[in-house]
């Protein structure tokens, strides 16, 4: 049985694509390549799992929120906002909604002088610009992978060393 909304304080698992599993399903799929997060009964313990991988951090709504606040303090909040917008975009089913969302993502994050312009290479930006008039569900994949790599390589290690995260860990113990 799939559920669309997870309750944070129960043992619920979901992939980054939004599929939610019951605990027995999670146990069966534990070895697959899908990313998932399980919320422990004690929400403070959840913070400990974020140190295991950037996927576990980004796979949890509260992890996303904590990481977003950290990125905001580093003036790079646009990275997670873009990444999250792309995750939502990939789940769009209707063409009109996809076109509208693609244009919003493009104008907010990709185009030159965008209010929350992301740091991507010129070729990736030009490719998105060239294809924005006929968007597909993969229109932002290359840029999203670049931003994910940037967050995983640069921002995530700093987050793990940050006072905010370390204070959460002390509170969890």
pLDDT reported for residue 165: 93
Residue 164 confidence (pLDDT) = 87
Band (pLDDT 50/70/90 cuts) for residue 17 is very low
pLDDT digits (tens, 9 = 90+) for 63-91: 999 999 999 999 999 999 999 999 999 99
pLDDT of 49 above 60? yes
CATH class belonging to 77-152: mainly alpha
CATH topology of domain 13-73+156-172: Regulator of G-protein Signalling 4; domain 1 (1.10.196)
Q: Name the one residue in this structure whose structure tokens are 């990481």.
A: 67
Confidence bin at 6 (pLDDT 50/70/90)? very low
Other beta carbons within 10 Å of 97: 11
pLDDT of res. 173: 57
Instruction: State the average pLDDT for the chain.
Output: 81
The DSSP string of 39-57 is --SSHHHHHHHHTT-HHHH
User: For a pLDDT cut of 90, what percent of the chain falls above it?
Assistant: 68
The domains of the chain are located at 13-73+156-172, 77-152
């Amino acid at each position: 049985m799939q559920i669309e909304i997870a309750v944070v304080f129960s043992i619920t698992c979901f992939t980054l694509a939004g599929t939610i599993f019951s605990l027995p399903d999670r146990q069966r799929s534990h070895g697959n390549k899908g990313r998932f997060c399980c919320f422990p009964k004690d929400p403070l313990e959840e913070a400990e799992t974020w140190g295991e991988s950037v996927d576990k951090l980004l796979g949890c709504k509260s992890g996303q929120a904590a990481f977003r606040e950290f990125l905001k303090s580093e003036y790079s909040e646009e990275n997670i906002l873009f990444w999250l917008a792309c995750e939502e975009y990939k789940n769009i089913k209707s063409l009109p909604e996809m076109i509208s969302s693609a244009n919003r993502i493009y104008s907010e994050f990709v185009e030159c002088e965008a209010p929350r312009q992301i740091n991507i290479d010129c070729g990736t930006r030009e490719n998105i610009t060239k294809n924005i008039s006929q968007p597909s569900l993969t229109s932002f994949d290359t840029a999203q992978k670049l931003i994910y790599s940037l967050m995983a390589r640069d921002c995530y290690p700093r987050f793990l060393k940050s006072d905010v995260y370390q204070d959460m860990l002390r509170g969890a113990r």
